[in-house]
Each structure stands twice: as structure tokens, then as C-alpha cells.
Amino acid sequence: MEKIIIEGKHVLYSSYKLEEDSSFQEILSSERLKKFLRDQDPETIIVLWGDGSILEAIQENYMKQKIFLGINFWNKGFLLNEASILDEKKSFEVRTYPLLEIHAGEKLCAVALNEFDIKAWDGKMLDLDLRVWDTHRLSLLWDGIIVSTPIGSTWYNSSLWWPILPHNLRSYILTPKAPWKPKGLAPIILSDDEKLVIQTQGRQSPIEIYADGRLIEKYDHENISLTLSKSAISVKLLTSCEESCSWDSRVLEEQGFSKKEN
């Protein structure tokens, strides 16, 4: 991501289509942005553009334990505030979201705020063994599996027509991609204090693992064991307290609700 200092504040933004978007270029040097930044805590990381931008910012900076404030200049902006906060005095609240982490053996591969996507990259199906608590197991043959946090359930999970979870649920959701055995398998919702162990079995296919849309590991016909669990590290995001910028409201609207007129 592009990183600049404005009014003594750390500002990160996506350079995606920056050259084509003159209005966003103007915002980066505008007095309205500078005025807004003067009121912000120097320890806050300001992220401009879209949801992918703040995910990238978190991936690069989560170990710093800063607070992230995102401002949407792109699409839906589930994790960001509307650009109107630059012009209107807003109050904010801090929302804390635990990260998911994935281990291969003893090695920490990555963390994710939204989701892990595990899939074969040779066009074949994955033959997997899932275990919870070391007492319950499920054998699967399918194209892949998505493991999403509640905040991430609005993304890839939702595009596969599976349920969106309220952001404050202490859980995560396992979403099948084209399940073959067992057929018609619905998503599996687990408490976030449970560890999920995923092992390859039977025919070994090359596997790719993505964290929040980024490729983080690739295994070539190896017998692997992955452990997914809630991380001890959480991310703090600032959201406007105004109803018009409410993330909870957006989650409801994504499921078909509309706002009641006064």
C-alpha cells in the first residue's frame, strides 16, 4: 500500500486506479482531509479507499496493535466509514474483532480478519479430514473450503449464497465449495474457542491457501495438517456511531432489509 504522513498522521491508501481517479487525488491533498486528520489520535492508522485496502493495511500492520479508521471511497465499504465523516463532526466507537490464525504444524502461516480460502490448484477435488476437539471428525471431498469470521461472512461466503453472521457473534463459519461427499453439505458454524484441524487424506492434490484474498502458502502433493483457531491478537476498528454509517445496518440491508422511514 501507499503510505504517507499528513498532519503527522499515518495515512494508507490503495493506488488502484489512482491515476484515473482525479477526485481521489484531490482528496489526498485537500484541506478537508487535513482538517479531519488534525482531530485524530496520532496512534490511529487512517486507511482510504475500499474494504480490500483496509484488509491489506491490517495484514501489514496488525502486530503494531494500532487502531484502524477506514474511509470508503470505493464500493460497499463494510469495514469502513462513509466519506461524509470528513465534512461532518462525528463521534466514533472502537470495535474489537479477533483474528483467525492458521498453523501448518508448529509454523504460523498467517492471520485473517475475514477468511481463509483453502483450495486445490490443479482443478481436482480436495480429500480432507476435519476434526474438532479431537473427538469429532468429518470426511470431505469437495473443491475447497472457506473458513470465515462473522465480519468476513459478508464476503466470499455470502457470494456462495450462505448466511451472513452478525459481526459480534463469537463464532466462525466453514463454507463448502461444490461439495461432492457428503452432497448438499450446509455451512458449519463453530464457536470461536474451538480449534479446527484439517488434514489431507487419500489422493493428495496440490493446495493453495489464501488469507483475506492473498496467497500465503502453496503445497505440492504433500500430506499436510492445518490448525485454525482464534488468535490471541485482535484488531481495533473505529466506526461512526451514526446510524447512517452503522455496519450493523449494512449487514441487515445486505440480507434484504430496508431502513424504516421516520
Q: What is the pLDDT of residues 112-147, one digit of tens each?
A: 999 999 998 887 889 999 999 888 999 989 899 999
Catalytic residue numbers, as ranges: 51
Q: What is the pLDDT of residues 170-213, one digit of tens each?
A: 999 999 998 888 888 889 999 999 999 999 988 778 999 999 99
Indicate the SS3 state at residue 162: coil
| Enclosing H/E stretch for 236 | strand 225-240
- Whole-model pTM above 0.85? yes
Q: Using an 8 Å Cβ cutoff, are 255 and 165 in contact? A: no
DSSP one-letter string for 186-219: PPEEEETTS-EEEEE-SS---EEEEETTEEEEEE
Q: Decide the pairing of beta strands 67-72 and 225-240.
A: parallel
The beta-strand segments (E) located in 50-200 are 67-72, 81-82, 92-104, 107-112, 115-120, 126-132, 136-148, 171-181, 188-191, 196-200
Q: What is the pLDDT of residues 81-120, one digit of tens each?
A: 989 899 888 889 999 999 999 999 888 889 999 999 999 8
Q: Which domains occur in the chain, in start order?
A: 2-90 (no CATH), 100-232 (2.60.200.30)
